[in-house]
Structure 1
Amino acid sequence: IIGSWLEQGGRRDDIVIATKVATHPEFKGLAPENISAAVDASLARLHTDHIDLYYAHFDDDTQQIEDMATAFDKLVKAGKVRWV
């Protein structure tokens, strides 16, 4: 719904888009490759070039915190995410 609205001329700069990672059936968990793939899928669904707030839906004890932090940092540096 949000993606369609944005595509039809929604005022992107007037809203904050927040979404989470870790629970999508295709991208479960917080492995760096899931974090990256999930944000790309969200950007496509939302018809936008960036997400304002991207957060982890839950902790993932199977992943190293440094690896997850690095994955989130790469998204910020790439301009895909503004805040984590």
Structure 2
Amino acid sequence: MEVNQNDHSYNPGDIVYVFYRNPHTQDVANVQSAAVVNNPENPGELAIFLYETYYPLTNDMAVYQSEAEAMEVYEQYFSFE
């Protein structure tokens, strides 16, 4: 299965980069690598596997193909200078 999001296609096994907020400190966010996998909870769908949790891969999720691309967007949203 392949998911096309923002002109990018994702397949199981791809490594992508996402923003991850610390669940204990909501004002802390980081760029984190994650794997694209087949969603075990919904066969036929893809998910992002991050910190032992599956997140459905949807068009609403901000997913980046490179760490550099993710960091550039991260700086735009989280830089307070």
The structure with higher relative contact order (CA 8 Å, sep 6+) is 1
| Higher helix proportion | 1
TM-score where L is the length of structure 1: 0.29
| Higher strand proportion | 2
TM-score where L is the length of structure 2: 0.30
